Structure 1
Amino acid sequence: MTANSQHVDSWYAASASPHKVFPALSGEVASDVCIVGGGYTGLSTAIHLRKLGFSVTLLEAERVGWGASGRNGGHVGTGQRADQEDLEQWVGLGTAKDLWRLGLDAVDLVVNLIDEFSIECELGVGNLHLAAKRRHSKGLQQEVEYLSKTYGYDQMRFVDATETAWMTTANRSHGALLDLGARHLHPLKYAFGLAKAADLLGTEIFEDSRVLSYDESKDGQVQVKTDSGLVKARFLVLACNGYLGNLEPRIAGNIMPINNFILATEPLSEAQQKAVCRDNFSLSDSLFVINYWKLSGDGRLLFGGGETYGAKFPKNIARFVWPHMLKIYPNLADVAVEYGWGGTLGITMNRMPDFGRLGRRTFYAQGFSGHGVPTATMAGYLLAAAISGDTDDFSRMASVPTRRFPGGTLLRRPGQVAGMLFYSLLDRIGG
């Protein structure tokens, strides 16, 4: 059995070369740092800690890349998930500029890791963010102007409706924001590449090793328990994001898990691919419940649309996503869909990631809110730096005020669902 056979049935799993199967933890292990979670955050943390000389044990409940890291849309966006003007109000212009820098550095870090470890993950350039409504067009123009004037960003420009229609046949031709600083990739191949890099650098990786509990003992160590083993470490990193569950109640209420879904069509003809996007950018729209899509390396349309807020996924995910795709590409109504899958991500109230420290020895980063490929990768770099004593940029990320969901984990879902439904209703109103 390969590791891929235990991933969800997605085009990603079908098209990625199987990665090494790591054993389950058995017995007692000691290391400088124990990491819980084998997604981008955990794997990036492991890579950067090993570069700093720390011994590292990584525990993954399923398989590396099994969660959102292996199921997402593969977009590598610039900046932060929240708007810069909002960040300025929350933390001031100076810190907002630092956060913008970190957002750009995060994209560079993804690209540099891909280069350093020769990760073949279909890396592409550019994102075209479409104005879903006519009134959204002005806001995109203002964003381009503001980022250029205040932040000196010159990789973004506004594309008018005529040029947008030349770039894509998508039914969102009210103009677009073209960001050539953005990237896109095959997310599971990227996760597998990070796992291979962490392994080659000497990280002890254990799969099928769900953490049941942990505690900071009196002898200056953290003890992390699975059903068949124990890790003793000087530091602990919680890199679970939407899969945190009940492991750490003190931070569980800072995020809410939601589910998002993707379909993959059959390979399109060359003409159909050009109709989706002439220049092979990733694409997205300006709706609150965002649609996002791109072409795969073998010419399929990978389209993400629709979300749910309960524990269950739709019985037929492809059918659930299909109407969202048809609203944008009705000309693809006769194209066959070969895959449909979903995943769980963690969102925060303000859509900024939740960085922090619990006690003396436990660090965490979570709540990437759909901006996880670059931000979770950067989180690993910052977590490693903080553990080594360089806390400056980690503290900058942690300085953004974190609001717990009202009612914590018990009541967060009903209130958030009501809010999501309200904004999704606005998405359906014309204009």
Structure 2
Amino acid sequence: MNLLHANDRPGEYPASYYAATATEGERFAPLKGQVTADVCIIGGGYTGLSAALHCAQAGLSVVLLEAHRVGFGASGRNGGQVGSGQRLEQDALEKLAGKDAAHAMWDMGEEAKQLVRDLAAGMGLPFHAGVAHACYSDAEVAHARRYAEKLERDYGYDRIAPLPDGLIGSAAFKGGDLDMGAGHLHPLNFALGLAKAAAKAGATIYEQSEVHQITHGPRAIVQTGTGRVSCNHVILAGNGYLAGLDQKVAARVMPINNFIVATEPLGADAAGILARNVAVADTKFVVNYWRLSDDKRLLFGGGESYGYRFPDILKTVRKPMLEVYPQLRDVKIDYAWGGTLAITRNRMPCFVRTHPNVVSASGYSGHGVAMATLAGKLLAQTVQGQASGFDVLAALPQPRFPGGAALRWPLLAAAMTWYSMRDRLGI
């Protein structure tokens, strides 16, 4: 079974709050016949759309192929959080890659946030400052404080302060911090804005154009059901939906499913949930994350699954939501949706050159709004022969998932069940 078709209607966005409130986006025709391009991009999420935009701005001829609609995957379904740094904390990155590389990756994280802000401003999309990190124990609060001090001391980052009293209307937390250098936005509208900007810059986008095969060579041939692209370079930007197009990527990048619900509008009661318009993520291994929408709904994400089919989403997310906000027990849920993202074993994105003229970036592990957008820019630079940024991330060790195609999902499910149990026990 292909995850592109396991849970969704062909060529349609899921019935999410984001789809219901999306700005009008252009429908792009499917590819028919043969076309040529300097660059063919597979995947119309943040990575692919950013790559298309930056390639087109550089004067390259660009074709982007999307199996459904632009922003169809995780890019149009996520929590909308634009976080600082990388998915790993900087002390872990220093141990993994050394201090020089860790500093380079911190700078990339800052560049990624600024890139999102600038692009959002150009498309008239609101960007709301502030991401809070909510801690369940005194030890976690102390760790958060030490980490904020490290970032200020070693990286010059001074945007993090202790979590203000009363910001989160929940008794579940001991404290935490608030990063005012991070923020949140409407993720699907950001994807639609990127598509509009890329098309205006000269990129050609084809929707409902699922790629079935790549024939490699000095000029690669990218084949869909109704056409093909002959190109000098291929950019793989399918993330959790890449399926079997490239085994080198598939061995290191695992698709998993995550879920979000949107309550009915809370009106005046919203101030008792979040006193300010910031996003929140907690410290559980299977992270809960939430924020208020512009019309004062609670958008709450939580729970994961590791097979093809989505579970009962309402049941999956309602449980952690009520653990944080039991006062919402009688509140109506208006939307519930899921999506497929991708993780790596070390939780850092997988940047890899799979063939001399094929590059890929994926596996953002829940930290993709900013990093996937920057990844598209880095991939665009790479196909122009400017690979310094790409090479920093490609140098990170990216171990394969054990078990091969047949066993990696059951092994991952067993491991994640163990971590979920630790979350429940507070270990």
TM-score grouping bracket, smaller chain normalisation: over 0.9
Conserved? CA contact 1:168–1:274, under 8 Å:
no
- State how far apart, in whole Å, the 2-side matches of 1:376 and 1:406 are: 25
Matched, 1:305 2:302: yes
**Following the alignment from structure 1 to structure 2, what is the Cα–Cα distance between the partners of residues 246 and 171?**
45
**More deviation in 169-178 or 13-22?**
169-178
Q: Give 3-state SS (helix, strand or coil) of 2:413's partner.
A: helix
Instruction: Give the 5 Å matches for 1:270-419.
Output: 270=268, 272-314=269-311, 316-419=312-415
| Matched position secondary structure for 1:12 | helix
Alignment of 1:147-226 (within 5 A): 147-159=151-163, 163-164=164-165, 166-217=166-217, 220-226=218-224
Matches of 2:92 and 2:174, distance apart in 1? 25
Equivalent position amino acid for 2:236 in 1: L
1:5 CA displacement: 8.2
Greater than 6 Å deviation, 4+ residue runs:
none
Other-structure match for 2:140: 136
CA gap 1:119/1:58 in 2 versus in 1, 3 angstroms: farther
How far is 1:430 from its partner? 3.7
Q: Residue 427 in 1 paired to residue 423 in 2?
A: yes
CA distance in 2, matches of 1:142, 1:348: 27
The answer (yes or no) to whether the contact 1:254–1:408 under 8 Å persists in 2 is no
Which AA in structure 2 matches 1:181?
A: G
1:246 Cα offset (Å):
0.9
Verify the 8 A CA contact 1:293 1:302 in the aligned structure 2.
Answer: yes
Select the residue among 119, 123, 131 that pairs with 1:127: 131
Q: Which residue identity does 1:226 align to in structure 2? A: T
Whether the 8 Å contact between 1:4 and 1:18 is mirrored in structure 2 is no
Amino acid at match of 1:238: L
Amino acid at match of 1:131: C
Q: Indicate the SS of the match to 1:401.
A: coil
After superposition, the C-alpha distances for 1:315-356 in whole angstroms (9 at most, x for unaligned) are x31232111111101111121110000000000000000001
CA contact (8 A) 1:4 1:13 kept: no
Please state whether the residue corresponding to 2:121 is helix, strand or coil: helix
1:247 aligns with 245
Partner Cα distance (1:94, 1:51) in 2: 31
2:260 alignment partner, SS class: strand
Residue 171 of structure 1 contacts residue 327 of structure 1 at CA under 8 Å; is this kept in 2?
no
What are structure 1's unaligned runs of at least 5 residues? none
Secondary structure in 2 matching 1:6: coil
2:169 is aligned with what amino acid?
T
**Any conservation in 2 of the 1:40–1:65 contact (CA below 8 Å)?**
yes
- On the 8 A contact 1:43/1:194 being kept in 2, the answer is yes
Q: Which amino acid aligns with 2:266?
A: L
Give CA deviations for 1:167-203 in whole Å, capped at 9, x if unaligned: 1212333111110110101100111100111111111
1:369 Cα deviation from its structure 2 partner: 0.3
Say yes or no: does 1:48 pair with 2:45.
no
Cα contact 2:136–2:174 (8 A) shared by 1: yes
Aligned to 1:24: 30
CA deviations on 1:15-72 (whole Å, 9 max, x unpaired) are 1123111000000000100000000000000000011110100000011001100100
SS in 1 for 2:72: coil
Closer, same or farther: CA 311–318 of 1 in aligned 2, 3 Å = same
Measure, in 1, the Cα distance between the counterparts of 2:99 and 2:11.
48
Q: Secondary structure at the match of 2:138?
A: coil
For 2:47, the aligned partner's letter is T
TM-score normalised per structure 1: 0.95
Identity %: 45
1:97-108 equivalent positions in 2, closer than 5 A? 97-108=103-114
Worse-matched range after superposition: 234-243 or 390-399: 390-399
Which secondary structure state, in structure 2, belongs to the residue aligned with residue 167 of structure 1? coil
What is the TM-score of this pair, normalised by structure 2?
0.96
Write the letter of the residue equivalent to 2:144.
L
For residue 31 of structure 2, give the secondary structure of its aligned residue in structure 1.
coil
Offset at residue 4 of structure 1 (A): 11
Distance 1:119 1:239, change over 3 A: farther
Cα separation, 2, equivalents of 1:296 and 1:227: 39
* Distance in 2 between residues matched to 1:199 and 1:111, nearest whole Å: 20
Distance 1:338 1:157 in 2: 34
Residue 252 of structure 1 aligns to which amino acid in structure 2?
A
Q: Is the 8 A contact 2:11 2:67 kept in 1?
A: no
RMSD: 1.4
**Equivalenced residues, count:** 419
